Amino acid sequence: MVVVEPASRRVMVRGSEFIGRVAAIEKVDIRSRVTGFVKRPLFNEGDTVKAGQVLFEIEPESFQATVDQQAALLAAAKADLDNANTNLSRATELIRTNATSQAQVDQRKAEQARAAAHVQQAQAALDQARINLSYTTIRSPIDGRIGRASLTQGNLVDQGTGTLATVVRDDTVHVFFGASQREVLSFRKSGQTKDAQKVTLKLADQSIYGERGAIDFLDVTVDQKTDSQTIRASFPNPDRFLQDGQTVRVLVEPESGAESIVVPAVAVAADQSGHFVLVVNADNKVEQRRVKTATSRDGFTAIAEGLKGGEFVIVLGQQRARPGAVVTPQKNATN
């Protein structure tokens, strides 16, 4: 006895599977731009933060003192400029009555120009001091979720300290994967558009991620080491189920396809001459039928040539069936 199942017609789309890496749509490493001692972090690790929200504070006293010092120097420079303007005005009046020399007027002009330059210099130093003071308050540049703090209160930080914390925006994520030149060229020659592709993710536990994605970028260069191009797909991530850096499998297939003759994959065998199936004809005799296979998925294989719909193929007991032998077929109970 052998178990048989009829070849049927169904839509079998030809898809491809790639290894991909999840990346947050925005990711910012929070760093210090000045040197100082850190006060306690002003967030809870894992929290959602808003753009502009204060995350860290660096002790500001020395920076405030520098601002005050530069403000005083600016005031002194402005006073010198006022005095230089007055002296130049007087010299200009005196030259009209020949009470002073042109050389004296020229000297007063030079003194006025130097005083004006000193004011500009002092103003720039004050502006820089205020900028440095503003750096003692570290804010989030984006909306997102913040990870753990790498330093605690009291640590000395500077520009070389490294990342204090990382903020990611992952309500939408990118998935990057590489496709060979053969796959890219095959897609381009097919005449299909990227919008006509169904893009899904298979997770580590083999489950399918619930949100569908869309291809939105093909890199403009080819990696010479792997002869592949990087492709990017975007996926909604409303529940933050996908994490930055996570490895996934990317399934790309046409949105629709033509009907094909399909049989259970277990019915297809192969030898040195190629693929074949064992068919039970109307007289219950076994025939070996050479076939040309196409795509396979979900336990079924599409047959491009060599088989007609409705013909019965052996799915169980092939080892007991020989071409030309008469068998007692039993239909698969699942059908």
Most confident of 98-102, 132-136, 148-152: 132-136
Over pLDDT 90: what percentage of the chain?
70
Report pLDDT for 255.
Answer: 66
Pairing of strands 144-146, 137-139: unpaired
Place 136 in a pLDDT band, splitting at 50, 70 and 90. very high
Tell me: the pLDDT tens digits for 70-119?
999 999 999 999 999 999 999 888 888 887 788 888 999 999 999 999 99
Residues 6+ apart with CB under 8 A from 211: 235, 236, 237, 238
Express each pLDDT in 315-332 by its tens digit: 999 888 889 999 989 887
Kindly tell me if the per-residue pLDDT of 124 is higher than 80.
yes
**Lowest mean pLDDT, pick from 15-24, 59-68, 132-141:** 15-24
pTM for this prediction: 0.67
| Residue 314 contacts residue 6 (beta carbons within 8 Å) | no
Pairing assessment for the beta strands 329-331 and 2-6 based on DSSP bridges = parallel
Is the pLDDT at 190 greater than 70? The verdict is no
Q: What are 59-76's pLDDT values in tens digits?
A: 999 999 999 999 999 999
Q: What pLDDT is stored for residue 59 in this prediction?
A: 95
Average pLDDT on 152-181 reads 94
Residues 252-310 pLDDT 10s: 887 666 678 999 999 999 999 899 999 999 999 999 999 998 777 778 888 989 999 99
Q: What value does the mean pLDDT take over residues 228-257?
A: 90
132, 53 Cβ separation under 8 angstroms: no
Q: Mean pLDDT in the chain? A: 91
Over residues 199-226, the mean pLDDT reads: 92
204 class by beta-carbon count within 10 Å (0-12 exposed, 13-18 middle, 19+ buried):
exposed
- Locus of tokens 């017609």: 9
> Is residue 335 over pLDDT 60?
no
Strands 197-202 and 247-254 come out as antiparallel
Show Cβ contacts of residue 185 under 8 Å, excluding neighbours closer than 6 positions. none
Q: Is 288 in contact with 278 (CB distance < 8 Å)? A: yes
8 Å CB contact between 221 and 271: no
Per-residue pLDDT for 212 more than 90? yes
